Structure 1
């Protein structure tokens, strides 16, 4: 299985995805549209936060189900939980 590593801009928050990435999508919510974010859907068990979990800030709105995670130091959006699939 492929392994992908990523981080926020300052490197304080690091993570790994242990999953096959076979589709990239864009979201049309106001937050993602402004960032022109590309994303893939993986189960939460395939995402491992390697460092900086205590530095993550969470932005929640509307139904309080969708959660967007940001580095509290540099402000970069790292990942999110979807309202329609909160375990992904």
Structure 2
């Protein structure tokens, strides 16, 4: 399925394709404060509709994940990282249009203890 997403003001817009059935909820300080519900897909399944230069990026803790956010309103729609050499996108499903969050399976991850 193809999903449309982005930040609150529209400065960041993208589409992502895949089977959205489960999300990850991490309890680390960044994920919990931002309210992330993350869906991991291969990076090539996420296509920006706006210029990459519109993204601001925050590196946290191990600095392996590029947490992208809107510099205008602060909304954080996705991040990027590599998992065993495969480029991945971590999509914040709260930033996708038309997703019924209560229908998704939520896997809890203890990032606070890592």
Same structural fold, with TM-score higher than 0.5 when normalized by the shorter chain: yes
Instruction: Determine the structure 2 residue equivalent to 1:10.
Output: 9
Look up the match of 2:87: 87
Per the alignment, residue 73 of structure 1 pairs with 72
Q: Aligned-pair RMSD on alpha carbons?
A: 1.6
Any residues of structure 2 matched to 1:1-88 within 5 Å, and which?
2-82=1-81, 85=83, 87-88=87-88
More strand by share: 2
CA positional deviation for 1:24: 1.2
Q: Measure the CA separation in 2 of the matches of 1:13 and 1:36.
A: 18
TM-score (structure 1 length as normaliser):
0.86
What is the rounded CA distance, in whole Å, between the counterparts of 1:12 and 1:31 in structure 2? 22
Q: In 2, are the aligned partners of 1:8 and 1:77 still within 8 Å (CA)?
A: yes
**How big is the shift at 1:82?**
4.4
Q: CA deviation at 1:40?
A: 0.7
Structure 1 residue ranges without an equivalent (≥5): none
Higher relative contact order (CA 8 A, sep 6+): 2
